[in-house]
Amino acid sequence: MIYLQNSTIRNYILWIVCIVFTALLQTNWAEFLRFQEVSPDIILVLVVYFAIAYGAERAMFTGVIGGLYQDVAVNTTLGHHVLCYVIIGYILGHLATRLVSEHAAVKAGLVLLAGLCQGILFVAIQYVIQPQRGMIYPILNTVVPIAFYSAVLTPVVFLIVDRIFRRRELISDGIL
């Protein structure tokens, strides 16, 4: 499902605006998305979307932009979210070239798997820095519910982002 398109400055600006808006939505308006004290990781869903649709490079840059914003907004050590998102974007970007990822269940499964891996990696980094926090409880209490909720929201987020970027692709190619 990797799309080949002419990359214009307008497409890059739209991509960055989409990431920043998603990061704003996730960090500042988390109560709007919260369900049973769990908020989804929409930036991770975008990383998976761009890994499937555009490849590892776009997914990794999505992880850098979204992770930097999230590190600054949530007041964690700079680079924790970035590292986790970039690793997930790299792996899924290369995996997506070998995987038939057109079915919605495959996309949701990839988001669930990516959410679990990203969460475990983030908790492991936190554990190395502060071992008194523990590792099993945060994984079971936060990582698993966030990954599942993100996977449930995957079809909606993929549909919205696909409409934005496909429409832009059609307009830039002169079809519309």
Structure tokens at 77: 């050590």
Quick: pLDDT tens for 127-158.
998 888 888 888 999 999 999 999 999 999 99
Give the global pTM.
0.86
Q: Which of 40, 56, 161 is nearest to 111 (CA)?
A: 40
Non-local (6+) Cβ contacts of 102 within 8 A are: 1
Non-local (6+) Cβ contacts of 158 within 8 A are: 45, 49, 104, 107
Q: 82 — phi, psi (to 5°)?
A: -60, -50
Quick: pLDDT tens for 91-139.
999 988 887 777 888 889 999 999 999 999 999 998 998 888 888 888 9
Q: Which of 142, 151, 161 is nearest to 46 (CA)?
A: 161
CA angle 109, 42, 40 (to 5 degrees): 80
Q: Where are the domains of the chain?
A: 9-172
CA 71 to chain centre: 14
Residue 154 contacts residue 45 (beta carbons within 8 Å): yes
Fold of 9-172: Arp2/3 complex 21 kDa subunit ARPC3 (1.10.1760)
For residue 176, give the amino acid letter: L
